[in-house]
Structure 1
């Protein structure tokens, strides 16, 4: 099992680029030893580069691409990636104290072409309102200062939904029905999900109660897919997270997402259910008008 332990350097970009280079090598029909000999490197050097454990230069990548006979747009894209390897993202600027897993996730999200959430019991972070997120963090023991830091980071992460990224959230009905904060907080959270679900690049689908047995009942996870790199799956644990990028490990999770498409409500049915539940929370709160929530 190949598990990515989050680290500051070389980081997620190096991991992704290394995986792409591994694919190029395999397409060229070369094993690790043959490729290393072709560029006069030690086999361990190339192995560390492909697994993201070693930083790489433009010259090194160009040398490998020459051996692998990668040309044209594919070559230009890979070289552009290595040139921007050390450019800082927002996660490198001014938010000291965030968990390493959060920083690694933000970096992966910034590079992803598609993200799919399976969230059976809690609203996914990319869809949470700040009131909902704050109430959950405080209720689960996060100190107020730490909660505000994580909320700031979450607001920045949510900006990826304003890009061309394709985002799909499969949300379990219990996550929608479980109160977090007061009734007004829950009502605003459901209103926010309903509005975000109207975006062309976002798909919100509810997995209703009473659905027959399926693998997703084992727990939540996030699948991040990239244009040229293998997918990464994040499984969140109670006090940490595990990132996986080996096909043998990510495959079952991607298959689970495929099966969820068969048991989840359609986007239209999901929106109707969320609207009805949001209205009941609003009535329960006894509030007047419900403010629109923008993320």
Structure 2
């Protein structure tokens, strides 16, 4: 049976093995020769581009003289490397990027969304998502499956994960679906924003120029793997994990924090907009 393509678990395992090698004082070439591997094989493993089985990991840990609790943790990760997650089942017909993102989200300890024009996926209600998918030209036949998967992904917000969302004011005011759909979406933002592990902050339209104006993105941070940045395009997504690629996005986050309203101010604005929608029943009241 062919190995499952490497995912974020492989990146995490590779990063930990690289640290063990460096602490053992071995170069990539020396470690490769010790286990009779090509240098490129070990390099691909350490960068998460190649899966590895438990026997191979045990061999490496022996060369690196890793013992005790560290060895137990790494071996446990190696043994579960190819275990399927919920995203591996029943996802036929869904975009490949959605399945990859679900795996990344499951492993992340911190996720930050910057969404200047559209409520981000982890916060979207089913009606809001359906209205947006229909308006964007998605195949109606696949919409129910995408909504179901989105609901599963959103369960991550009920775990100890830290989630921060910076929302552009325009995302709160733009009518997606009808006024009732947007009102329910705003109510959901208020509800989810009350959770201890969730922070929702609004970047006002009059905040002035800032780096985030170039477009939306998501950052995902992991306990033992390089961080990942997701940039969504019209019909695909780009995942970046090299430091030279991800660094500018992480550098943008403090600037967004500087211009964003506080959580309290943001919640007050969201409630105000929701109330106006309910009272007046139209997008014009949000102008």
How many Å separate the matches in 2 of 1:139 and 1:58? 47
Show the 5 A alignment for 1:189-200.
189-200=185-196
CA gap of 1:181–1:53, structure 2 versus 1, over 3 A, is same
Aligned to 2:201, the other structure's residue is in SS state strand
Would you say 1:74 and 2:70 are equivalent positions?
A: yes
Q: 2:153 aligns with which of 150, 154, 157?
A: 157
CA gap of 1:55–1:262, structure 2 versus 1, over 3 A, is same
How many Å separate the matches in 1 of 2:79 and 2:228? 23
Would you say 1:179 and 2:175 are equivalent positions?
A: yes
Is contact 1:19-1:50 (8 Å) kept?
yes
Shift of 1:266: 0.7
Q: 1:134 aligns with which of 120, 130, 134?
A: 130
2:265: which partner in 1? 269
Shift of 1:140: 0.4
Instruction: State the Cα RMSD in Å.
Output: 1.7
Would you say 1:89 and 2:85 are equivalent positions?
A: yes
2:112: which partner in 1? 116
Shift of 1:39: 2.2
How many Å separate the matches in 2 of 1:220 and 1:279? 27
CA gap of 1:279–1:69, structure 2 versus 1, over 3 A, is farther
Question: Could you tell me the TM-score, scaled by structure 2's length?
Answer: 0.92
Is contact 2:11-2:225 (8 Å) kept?
no
Shift of 1:32: 1.9
Q: 1:52 aligns with which of 35, 45, 48?
A: 48
Would you say 1:251 and 2:247 are equivalent positions?
A: yes
1:225: which partner in 2? 221
Shift of 1:43: 0.5
Instruction: Point out where structure 2 has 5 or more consecutive residues left out of the alignment.
Output: 283-287
Question: Could you tell me the TM-score, scaled by structure 1's length?
Answer: 0.90
Shift of 1:27: 4.3
Shift of 1:196: 0.2
- 1:33-72, Cα deviation, whole Å (9 max, x unpaired): 2221232211011122123332211121122233334444
How many Å separate the matches in 2 of 1:218 and 1:66? 48
Is contact 1:183-1:284 (8 Å) kept?
no
1:15: which partner in 2? 11
How many Å separate the matches in 2 of 1:188 and 1:105? 26
How many Å separate the matches in 2 of 1:164 and 1:54? 29
Is contact 1:12-1:108 (8 Å) kept?
yes
Considering Cα pairs closer than 8 Å and 6+ residues apart, tell me whether 1 or 2 has the greater RCO: 1
How many Å separate the matches in 2 of 1:241 and 1:94? 21
CA gap of 1:82–1:202, structure 2 versus 1, over 3 A, is same
Is contact 1:120-1:175 (8 Å) kept?
yes
How many Å separate the matches in 1 of 2:273 and 2:65? 56
CA gap of 1:250–1:184, structure 2 versus 1, over 3 A, is same
Aligned to 1:55, the other structure's residue is in SS state coil
Shift of 1:77: 2.1
Instruction: Point out where structure 1 has 5 or more consecutive residues left out of the alignment.
Output: 1-6, 287-295
